[in-house]
């Protein structure tokens, strides 16, 4: 949800200034890919998002643009994103850590940043250390599920069914190789 909202807000702003935007959705099992193409008149900006979850649950995924540093030099940062309804707090708190635990026993620790958006809704998102981004993506590619565990226990279980096809689509649309994650 946070991915979709951020991408769509950017597309609306650009659309108001005369740029032409085109959105494409793709579903691969439990994952969704959103590709937003904006022709600014000067260049073609493509923003790719992929996620699983939502519908009141947290999401796990990432957003990347063809204007960003891309793989194999820089790998996307996978995030858990949690949003609360107005007047309620998120389960995760600012500064906490969560563990992404994969089927094969591999795990990675991420730090939580929690705050309020411009409309007053509480949100929390996780970030891995930069050097863990590629390893997390590789673990997602070879596993079937992630259990995300915080200080109070299980926060969310995310299916990885469809992750590989989604990652391939994002790489194709945003113009980077899959090598280093999918070999």
Superfamily of structural domain 2-174: Invasion associated locus B (IalB) protein (2.60.40.1880)
Q: In the prediction, which pLDDT does 40 show? A: 87
Question: What are the sequence ranges of the domains in the chain?
Answer: 2-174
Q: In the prediction, which pLDDT does 50 show? A: 98
46 with 7: CB under 8 angstroms? no
Token pair, residue 32, equals 């969704």
pLDDT digits (tens, 9 = 90+) for 5-60: 444 444 444 444 457 778 999 999 999 999 999 998 899 999 999 999 999 999 99
Q: In the prediction, which pLDDT does 15 show? A: 45
Q: In the prediction, which pLDDT does 5 show? A: 46
């Amino acid at each position: 949800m946070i991915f979709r909202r951020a991408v769509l807000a950017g597309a609306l702003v650009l659309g108001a200034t005369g740029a032409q935007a085109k959105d494409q959705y793709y579903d691969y099992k439990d994952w969704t890919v959103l590709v937003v193409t904006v022709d600014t008149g000067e260049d073609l900006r493509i923003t790719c998002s992929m996620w699983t979850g939502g519908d009141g649950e947290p999401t796990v995924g990432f957003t990347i643009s063809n204007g960003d540093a891309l793989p194999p030099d820089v790998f996307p940062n996978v995030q858990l994103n949690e949003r609360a309804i107005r007047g309620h707090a998120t389960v995760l708190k600012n500064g906490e850590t969560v563990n992404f635990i994969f089927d094969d026993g591999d795990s990675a620790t991420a730090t939580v940043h929690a705050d309020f958006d411009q409309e007053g809704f509480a949100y929390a998102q996780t970030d891995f250390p930069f050097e863990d981004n590629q390893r997390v993506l590789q673990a997602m590619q070879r596993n079937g599920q992630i259990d995300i565990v915080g200080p109070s226990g299980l926060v969310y279980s995310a299916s990885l069914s469809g992750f590989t096809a989604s990652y391939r689509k994002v790489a194709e649309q945003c113009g980077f190789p899959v090598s280093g994650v999918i070999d």
